[in-house]
């Protein structure tokens, strides 16, 4: 029988969708989340322990009680702009606290870690689609902290035998079809919820740059449904439980949508017009970020199943309606 999983940051956006996948699979688990940026309502109360991942006593107690073999590590701050203005906070939260967590886990017989990483580790790519051989040259403290943790885990595997895999997300989006989960960020910076809100509220959407070297001049991104991400984590957990050593892997749909294509998809889903306002480019925004997820296909048998534009936009619209129904203040 599989042992319970320890899920850090499981009350956050991606983490809560992974917890829902565990519920569907009948897997036992426990979530540790400080709730600084998570939402307690996203996780069953009986599964949630409110604490910081750097709280060594609480993590050790959970390890003794649940005896997890694998930890799935989502807990992190994830705003690029915030990381530029307050890098110290990002290095403390994303790196120092992760190391404290890993040291407590390995002292308590946890054998493997599935790590939530990011395409931000690549920085501005030389080629597109991006595969895992691309240089990792992050251009923000956020991306740098994710890369440092990837490297830390690689050294911990060599030195201590702590098995791990880093899963590099592209643009997570959408929401569960069956549970009251949704994007809840403060501030909201993700394009898809912003464009849905613009369509529903009749407020303008700011577009940063329209002179990129793309088909319509706006940035192109790879949008991956959050439930597809949850599926990949389930497969990675199984592989690590069986002792497999996995390379770092990209998780993306494998194709891109420009900002204007996202606007068009939102207008179709909501049957409402989206007004746009042009704004200057943001420093450091690449023209295109598109994943090659072929390695995840070969290693995990994974492929995005719900990340076509129509499915993504319908899921995002459902999530926004849930947010409003729950009178979420964000």
Cross-strand bridge partners of residue 71: 6, 113
142 is known as an active-site residue: yes
- Residue tagged 């994303």 (tokens): 94
Asked if the bond preceding 148 is cis, omega within 30° of 0, the reply is no
Q: Which of 107, 40, 50 is nearest to 326 (CA)?
A: 40
C-alpha to C-alpha distance for 102 and 96, rounded to whole angstroms? 10
Cβ(103)–Cβ(59) below 8 Å: no
What is the DSSP code string of 267-320? HHHHT----EEEEPPPTT--SEE-B--HHHHHHH----SS-SHHHHHHHHHHHH
Cβ(199)–Cβ(266) below 8 Å: yes
Residue 92 tokens, joined: 């403390």
What 3-state DSSP class applies to 90?
Answer: helix
Task: Give the active site residue among 29, 142, 182, 223.
Answer: 142
Range 288-310 burial, b when 16+ CB lie within 10 A, else e: bbbbbbebbeebbebebebbebe
What lies within 8 Å, CB to CB, of 143 at 6+ separation is: 80, 118, 120, 121, 122, 123
Catalytic site positions: 142
């Amino acid at each position: 029988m599989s042992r319970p999983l320890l899920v850090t940051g499981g009350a956050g956006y991606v983490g809560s969708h992974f917890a829902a996948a565990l519920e569907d699979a009948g897997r036992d688990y426990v979530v540790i989340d400080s709730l600084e940026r998570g939402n307690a309502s996203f996780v069953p109360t009986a599964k949630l322990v409110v604490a910081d991942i750097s709280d060594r006593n609480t993590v050790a107690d959970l390890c003794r009680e649940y005896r997890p073999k694998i930890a799935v590590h989502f807990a992190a701050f994830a705003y690029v702009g915030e990381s530029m203005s307050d890098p110290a906070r990002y290095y403390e939260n994303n790196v120092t606290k992760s190391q404290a967590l890993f040291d407590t886990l390995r002292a308590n017989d946890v054998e493997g870690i599935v790590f939530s990483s990011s395409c931000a580790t690549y920085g501005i790519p030389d080629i597109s689609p991006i595969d895992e051989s691309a240089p990792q040259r992050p251009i923000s403290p956020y991306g740098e902290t994710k890369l440092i943790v990837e490297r830390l885990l690689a050294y911990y595997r060599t030195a201590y035998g702590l098995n791990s895999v880093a899963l590099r997300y592209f643009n997570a989006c959408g929401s569960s079809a069956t549970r009251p989960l949704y994007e809840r960020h403060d501030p909201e910076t993700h394009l898809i919820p912003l464009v849905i809100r613009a369509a529903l509220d009749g407020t303008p959407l700011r577009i940063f740059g329209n002179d990129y070297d793309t088909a319509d001049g706006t940035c192109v991104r790879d949008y991956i449904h959050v439930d597809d991400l949850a599926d990949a984590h389930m497969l990675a957990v199984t592989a690590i439980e069986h002792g497999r050593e996995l390379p770092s892997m990209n998780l993306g749909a494998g194709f891109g949508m420009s900002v204007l294509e996202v606007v068009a998809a939102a207008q179709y889903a909501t049957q409402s017009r989206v007004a746009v306002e042009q704004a200057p480019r943001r420093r450091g925004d690449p023209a295109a970020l598109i994943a090659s997820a072929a390695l995840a296909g070969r290693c995990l048998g994974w492929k995005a199943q719900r990340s076509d534009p129509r499915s993504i936009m319908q899921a995002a619209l459902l999530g926004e309606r849930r947010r409003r129904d729950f009178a979420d203040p964000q």
